[in-house]
């Protein structure tokens, strides 16, 4: 069975479905105020892989991925975020309404995830359409003494009413300092680490509540939607590692306080993606979108393959070079699968398939799975028809469309964008006997995946 590293228990845990044959997976969805960058997209691959691997064990995953279209404030790593709503800020910048912004970027998100062969989750509730659920949950927390309303209509969670706060991230309440805000601790709070469940205010995207007009806090959104769509027993909760604190600690405190037991059994977090050695983040201007990858002439699934070359829990550094390399591997595998498809079908290579399955089960060890696949590709002792069946079998989890070239005429090699110009420049450099320019251009072509060979008749490429 699938084992995943649980951030809270700090050890690998077996994913045994709590209720029969379904595993309930909640994953924090996008805040839809901009295009998702490939770093974000890496985090969303995690629930997709979990559900594909579980399917291999005849267990169905029911995935809920919310859409945050209100309540996510700029200062989201503070225990109680302040500042402007990310969507309202973007709406102002683009001169459009908050709703237009939210729907536009939600559509873009769906296109990106579909291009990466991520299956659509069973539930995709929008925060702005789940306000009643949040109000109901907040009312319950107030009634139970876990939350309190203040004069301006805001409601705060009473952090000290949840003694096991901090189990996921290690940030225990007694270690949380009052913070470095210039204005000091918010006088409306009973305790500095309390956070807002509801922000009392009257502006765009606000709703009436029994304690006053306002909008929900980002953390209560995930509690309300996960409890409503998956129930009080959720097997796995995923997200990028930055969400461990405060987002997931706060969600855990809210949900557990409301129902009286641990709602989420396993917390699983993905490591961050770096690009050219730096964290991919809009704030640092280091952002690559899926559309940039497609514009560079690469298959979007090259991104998926590049992700799979690293375990989700490993920090990974993406570069244009690794993306080009992944694109070449993808094209080669599709061609090989198409060639093998011409041979009579044979049973799958059981040993290779089992080793790949074991790797998937071992905390989604996708690098090992890909190593076994490469080994099988080269293993001439395995019949082509058997390699064909095994590659297709494993593609159910890999999701790389490895059968895409079957039945197509053999591919005519096509130069990647920019390569023709480099080849021409190199031919000229050689004519002029400028060997250092010639070597440099050969290296540049190699980065694009073009191998140049010099013959007495001039240069050729492959």
Residues that bind ligand AMP (CB under 6 A): 28, 30-31, 39-40, 42-43, 239-240, 242-243, 272-273, 279-281
Secondary structure element (H or E) that encloses residue 379, with its range: none
30 binding partner (options Zn ion, ligand AMP, none; Cβ < 5 to 8 Å by kind): ligand AMP
Q: Burial-class residue 182 by CB neighbours within 10 Å (0-12, 13-18, 19+).
A: exposed
For residues 433 and 73, what is the distance between their CA atoms, to the nearest angstrom? 60
Residue 393, marked binder: no
Residue 282, marked binder: yes
Smallest distance, ligand AMP to C-beta of residue 435, A: 41
Q: Which two tokens stand for residue 319?
A: 């570069």
Residue nearest to ligand AMP (CB): 240
For residues 294 and 300, what is the distance between their CA atoms, to the nearest angstrom? 6
Is the CB of 110 or the CB of 272 nearer to ligand AMP? Answer: 272
Smallest distance, ligand AMP to C-beta of residue 260, A: 28
Smallest distance, ligand AMP to C-beta of residue 220, A: 15
Binding region for Zn ion (CB under 5 A): 28, 222
Smallest distance, Zn ion to C-beta of residue 222, A: 3
279 binding partner (options Zn ion, ligand AMP, none; Cβ < 5 to 8 Å by kind): ligand AMP
What are 238's strand-pairing partners? Answer: 27, 268
Is the CB of 243 or the CB of 341 nearer to Zn ion? Answer: 243
Most distant CA pair in the chain: distance in Å?
87
Residue 64, marked binder: no
Is the CB of 109 or the CB of 211 nearer to Zn ion? Answer: 109
Smallest distance, Zn ion to C-beta of residue 68, A: 7
For residues 462 and 452, what is the distance between their CA atoms, to the nearest angstrom? 7
280 binding partner (options Zn ion, ligand AMP, none; Cβ < 5 to 8 Å by kind): ligand AMP
DSSP, collapsed to helix, strand or coil, labels residue 159 as helix
Inter-residue contact 61 to 54 (CB < 8 Å): yes
- CB atoms < 10 A from the CB of 169, how many? 19
Is the CB of 234 or the CB of 382 nearer to ligand AMP? Answer: 234
Is the CB of 251 or the CB of 327 nearer to Zn ion? Answer: 251
Which distant-in-sequence residues (6+ apart) come within 8 Å of 87 by Cβ?
A: 31, 32, 33, 69, 70, 72, 98, 101, 102, 205
Q: Binding site for ATP: residue ranges?
A: 282
């Amino acid at each position: 069975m699938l084992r995943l590293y649980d951030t809270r228990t700090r050890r690998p845990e077996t994913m045994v479905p709590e209720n029969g044959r379904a595993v309930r997976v909640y994953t924090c969805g996008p805040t839809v105020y901009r295009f998702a960058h490939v770093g974000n997209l890496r985090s969303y691959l995690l629930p997709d892989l979990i559900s594909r691997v579980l399917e291999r064990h005849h267990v169905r995953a029911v995935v809920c991925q919310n859409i945050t279209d209100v309540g996510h404030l700029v200062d989201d790593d503070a225990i109680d975020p302040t500042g402007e709503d990310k969507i309202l800020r973007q709406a102002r910048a683009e001169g459009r309404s908050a709703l237009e912004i939210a729907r536009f970027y939600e559509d873009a998100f769906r296109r990106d995830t579909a291009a990466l062969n991520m299956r659509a989750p069973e539930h995709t509730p929008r925060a702005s359409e789940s306000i009643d659920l949040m109000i109901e949950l907040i009312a319950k927390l107030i009634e139970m003494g876990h939350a309190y309303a203040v004069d301006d209509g805001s409601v705060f969670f009473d952090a000290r009413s949840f003694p096991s706060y901090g189990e996921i991230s290690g940030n225990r309440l007694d270690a949380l300092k009052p913070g470095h805000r210039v204005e000091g601790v918010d006088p409306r709070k009973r305790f500095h680490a309390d956070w807002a469940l509801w922000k009392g205010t009257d502006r765009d995207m606000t709703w009436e509540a029994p304690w006053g007009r306002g909008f929900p806090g980002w953390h209560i959104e995930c509690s309300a939607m996960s409890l409503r769509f998956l129930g009080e027993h959720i097997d796995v909760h995923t997200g990028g590692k930055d969400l461990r604190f405060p987002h997931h600690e706060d969600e855990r405190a809210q949900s557990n306080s409301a129902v009286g037991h641990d709602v989420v059994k396993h917390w699983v977090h993905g490591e961050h993606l770096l690009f050219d050695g730096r964290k991919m983040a809009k704030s640092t201007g280091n952002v690559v979108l899926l559309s940039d990858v497609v514009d560079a002439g690469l298959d979007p699934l090259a991104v998926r393959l590049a992700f799979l070359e690293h375990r989700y829990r490993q920090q990974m550094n993406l570069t244009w070079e690794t993306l080009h390399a992944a694109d070449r591997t993808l094209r080669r595998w599709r061609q090989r699968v198409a060639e093998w498809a011409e041979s009579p079908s044979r049973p799958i290579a059981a040993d290779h398939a089992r080793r790949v399955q074991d790797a998937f089960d071992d905390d989604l060890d996708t690098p090992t799975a890909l190593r076994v696949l490469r080994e099988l590709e080269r293993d001439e002792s395995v019949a082509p028809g058997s390699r064909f069946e095994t590659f297709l079998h494993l593609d159910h989890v890999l999701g790389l469309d490895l059968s895409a070239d079957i039945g197509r005429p053999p591919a005519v090699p096509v130069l990647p964008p920019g390569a023709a110009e480099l080849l021409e420049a190199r031919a000229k450099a050689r004519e002029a006997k400028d060997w250092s320019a010639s070597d440099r251009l050969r290296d540049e072509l190699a980065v694009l995946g073009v191998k140049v060979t010099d013959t007495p008749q001039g240069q050729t490429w492959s």
